Amino acid sequence: MLARFSGASVLIVALLLPAFVLADATSTQLQIDSTNAQIEKLKDEIAQLQGQLNTTTTQKKTLQTAIKELDLQIQKLQKTITLTTTQIGQKDRDISKLSTTISTTSNEISKVEESVGSTLRNLRELDEEPLTNSLLASGSLSDFFDQSVTLGSVRGELQNKIEELSALRADLESNKSSAESRRRELAALKNNLSTQKQGVAAAKGAQTQLLVQTSNQESNYQKLIAQKQIEEAKFEQELLAFERQLGLHVDTSALPSVAPGELAWPLDSVRITQYFGNTDFATKNPQIYSGKGHTGLDLAASTGTRILAARGGVVLGTGNTDLTCPNASFGKWVFVKHDDGLSTLYAHLSVINVSAGQPVDQGEVVGYSGSTGYATGPHLHFGVYASSGSEIASFKSSSCKGKTYTMPVGDPSAYLNPLSYLPTR
């Protein structure tokens, strides 16, 4: 005997259920729209701050502009943290909603499976009953035909339930896949939030250090820049002399073909401030570059900007040349060897995020930008080397007596133009 709802019950369910569903859907959609609007607003505010930062970095280097740049970077990073926190909340809600949907779908599958089982048992009983018994039990030919029609209807219902079950299972797998994808996105956002907080700390630390170094005096700031230029010129002479004695040789057969995309950009947002080779700045400052040109790319990167590995590889070493001779060279640096015959350098960092021997993936944060070493403003010096013609070596400093540099060095032919391997802009 099949259970039946009364007409009143069916009417109540038909009237009430859609109202609940509609109210819940409307509330959820309003929340989604509100969050999306907040996210877009934050993105616009971050873009405006980045525009102001770009303007500041092109202005004359003064203490005022340096402090303003750090202020803007701190504001930008704090806005980015708010954005990431909002996106984390959105992902949490997405996952919660998907979890509820998965639970509901699993329950529906159980109900349909139970119904299919019951229908199959009924069909089996009807199919096993002899035709003569069914005819005699019916009492009349009309009842017998009614029962036959019912049997056909049950079979049709069974087919519908099997199709419904198949659709529910497909929905369940799709929702489970979506939930896993959201969980991965959530983990990435939480990791980004952690790195963004480190970036804020780096920018605030740099600001405090700059004010202490200059005693908040413009004249002291200009003296600091002049001293950096003097120390850099001395260092370049020392480095050139040392590299000439190394006897390193580049194995050109081990180098990858020139191909845009062999390496990825080490920054989320790219603006080149000095190119590789005999640039105008390098030519006008032979006392600094020893006539051999600029050995990498300089990329605009306000203090605390995350620096990304250009390709998967192993960290050959990290260091800080300011501990040997302040203001002269790379400052805080990271050197990564890749599997394609190339090695990459990330210099002038404020914070180093990796250690020697550590494997890194492409896009992994290796550090945060700064202005350590010879840098008159925060930026990233990105160098690409032929692995076969470069190494991390130590040599004594003549300008800072009793001190020894340890840093990446290479044969002059080992310094490669990064643009040969980076994606076309």
pLDDT for 61: 79
pLDDT for 122: 67
Q: Which residue has the higher pLDDT, 48 or 336?
A: 336
pLDDT for 30: 79
* Domains annotated on the chain, with CATH: 7-199 (1.10.287), 231-420 (2.70.70.10)
CA 48 to chain centre: 21
pLDDT in tens, 76-88: 889 989 999 999 9
DSSP string, 215-250: TT-HHHHHHHHHHHHHHHHHHHHHHHHHHHHH----
* Length of the chain, in residues: 425
Structure tokens at 295: 């050995």
Mean pLDDT, residues 389-412: 89
Residue 407 vs residues 141, 251, 403: alpha-carbon distances, Å = 100, 21, 13
Contacts of 217 (CB under 8 A, 6+ apart): 63
Mean pLDDT, residues 49-67: 83
Amino acid identity at 291: G
Which of 164, 224, 83 has its CA nearest to residue 91?
83
pLDDT band at 402 (very low <50, low <70, confident <90, very high): confident
Say what percent of the chain tops pLDDT 70: 81
pLDDT for 28: 66
Helix (H), strand (E) at residue 124: helix 63-128
pLDDT in tens, 91-148: 888 888 888 888 888 888 888 778 777 777 766 665 555 545 554 455 554 554 455 5
Cα dihedral sign for 409, 411, 415, 421?
negative
Contacts of 73 (CB under 8 A, 6+ apart): 53, 203, 302, 303, 304, 305
Burial 323-334 (b: 16+ CB within 10 A, else e): ebbbbbbbbbbb
pLDDT in tens, 170-199: 887 888 888 888 888 888 888 888 888 888
pLDDT for 172: 79
In this predicted structure, the answer to whether residue 11 has a pLDDT above a threshold of 50 is no
In this predicted structure, the answer to whether residue 21 has a pLDDT above a threshold of 60 is no
Are the CB atoms for 41 and 196 separated by under 8 Å?
no
pLDDT for 357: 96
pLDDT for 334: 98
In this predicted structure, the answer to whether residue 291 has a pLDDT above a threshold of 50 is no
Q: Which residue has the higher pLDDT, 399 or 338?
A: 338
pTM of the model: 0.68
Q: What SS3 state is found at 207?
A: helix
Mean pLDDT, residues 323-340: 92
